[in-house]
Structure 1
Amino acid sequence: MPDDPAVQRRKPSQDRARETRERILDSAAQLFAEHGMAEISTNRIAAHAHISIGSLYRYFDDKAAIIDVLRTRLLTDLEERFTEAVLGSIGLPLRESVGSSLRVIMHAVADRRDLVRALAADATVAGIGFGGLERRLLLLTRAYLLQQLGPRPDAELDTRAFVMVNAGLAASLRMALQPPPGLDPDRIIEETATMLGDWLTAAT
């Protein structure tokens, strides 16, 4: 039975719409990373994407809507990479396991350093919505600790998860966004992982 002609017509249109939306987002991400958000207007994003401003407004109400999508994508990607690293490191020695997770966050942020800086003026955990990422990482880290340490009082698991996420995430973000001159970011992450790993080993 031949395909429905209406469906055949609709699919290319949908594909073009997705391509246009992605082009808008890619253009905005590039411009924000290169010039900062304050300097970039929707008109400039449309011109960079080679579309009319009217076409841009078919997909996004304003610049804030574009920023929201870019922020959500960034945080989702960081969470997915962290989750993969944690799951893949279960069974490894604690130092190696923690170090693997921290390096994933550091390199994922470093790959998008300019965009992250543009999306958050201060690039802290609270800025850019990293607070939402922190909450999700806390849940994942708590589950990881339960797997590694065995049943513990809720207060202990919550406290240890909080310390690990805040110390580890802070170090990863700092090394990704603004590493101190003369210091090797990977060495800093390794030392942080050693500190947290030894601390957890003492609890087993």
Structure 2
Amino acid sequence: MPETRAAQRHKPSQARARETRERILDSAAQLFSAHGMAEVSTNRIAAHAHMSIGALYRYFDDKAAIAEVLRARLLAELEECFTAAVIGSLGLPVRESVATSLRIIMGALVDRRHLVRALAADATVEGIGFGGLERRLLLLTRAYLLQQLGPLPDDELDIKAFVMVNAGLAASLRIALQPPAGLDVDGVISETATMLGEWLGARS
């Protein structure tokens, strides 16, 4: 059935709206990464996106709303990387699977480190400062541990998952966001993987 003229007019309008919204988000991400959130205003974002402040406010109420969208996207990307790391390492020896997962996660963080640093500095929520990411990673880690160790009491499984997630993420975030001077990064990853692998192996 042929589209009505109204529908034909509406589609380009929706496409332009999506493009404008993405331009705002891209500009904000670039500015947050370069200068930090505290130094970036909505006026500055609008100027960087080559639009008026009034146009920006048609899409976002304030800077916090823009940051929330960027944070949600970042969470989704990191969760996707973490999921791929866990699935890809199933069947490997524990030490090797942990090292593989850490390298993938760290690579994802390094690629986005400036934005991660900017958004984390502004966050006040629990865990590593990214909303529900820790909770989602705990669920994935529980599944991994069940595959590696077999059935366990829920409380023991929860503790093990918490230790795995927080030890792994602490190392990944520390190295990705502020690489330790004078230390071999791959050596740090290997040592962390050995520590966690031996800890799990002793309990398997």
Normalised TM-score (structure 1): 0.93
The answer (yes or no) to whether the contact 1:106–1:172 under 8 Å persists in 2 is yes
Q: Which residue of 2 aligns with 1:114?
A: 114
Whole-angstrom distance in 2 between the partners of 1:44 and 1:131: 26
Are 2:89 and 1:89 equivalent residues in the alignment? yes
Q: Which blocks of at least 5 consecutive residues in structure 2 are unaligned? A: none
Q: Which residue of 2 aligns with 1:187?
A: 187
Number of corresponding residues: 204
> How far 1:95 sits from its partner (Å)?
1.3
Are 2:120 and 1:132 equivalent residues in the alignment? no
The answer (yes or no) to whether the contact 2:123–2:129 under 8 Å persists in 1 is no
| Residues 68, 29 of structure 1: alpha-carbon distance in 2 compared, 3 angstrom cutoff | same
Q: Which blocks of at least 5 consecutive residues in structure 1 are unaligned? A: none
Q: Deviations over 1:151-199 (max 9, x none)?
A: 1111221111111011111000000001110112222112111111121
Are 2:100 and 1:100 equivalent residues in the alignment? yes
Q: Deviations over 1:84-120 (max 9, x none)?
A: 1111211111112111221222111111111122122
The answer (yes or no) to whether the contact 2:85–2:105 under 8 Å persists in 1 is no
Q: Deviations over 1:9-49 (max 9, x none)?
A: 21111111111101100100101111111111111100100
> How far 1:131 sits from its partner (Å)?
5.4
Kindly, what percent of the aligned residue pairs are identical?
Answer: 79
Runs of 4+ in 1 over 3 A off after TM superposition: 122-128
> How far 1:132 sits from its partner (Å)?
2.1
> How far 1:202 sits from its partner (Å)?
1.9
Q: Which residue of 2 aligns with 1:154?
A: 154
The answer (yes or no) to whether the contact 1:120–1:127 under 8 Å persists in 2 is no
Q: Deviations over 1:36-79 (max 9, x none)?
A: 11111111100100111111001000011011111111111111
Q: Which residue of 1 aligns with 2:17?
A: 17
Counterpart AA for 1:137: L
The answer (yes or no) to whether the contact 1:102–1:172 under 8 Å persists in 2 is yes
Whole-angstrom distance in 2 between the partners of 1:122 and 1:62: 14
Q: Which residue of 2 aligns with 1:202?
A: 202
Whole-angstrom distance in 1 between the partners of 2:128 and 2:93: 33
Q: Which moved more, 1:137-146 or 1:101-110?
A: 101-110
Q: Which residue of 2 aligns with 1:165?
A: 165
Whole-angstrom distance in 2 between the partners of 1:131 and 1:27: 23
| Residues 115, 80 of structure 1: alpha-carbon distance in 2 compared, 3 angstrom cutoff | same
> How far 1:136 sits from its partner (Å)?
1.1
Q: Secondary structure at the match of 2:58?
A: helix
Q: Which moved more, 1:114-123 or 1:194-203?
A: 114-123
Whole-angstrom distance in 1 between the partners of 2:170 and 2:56: 36
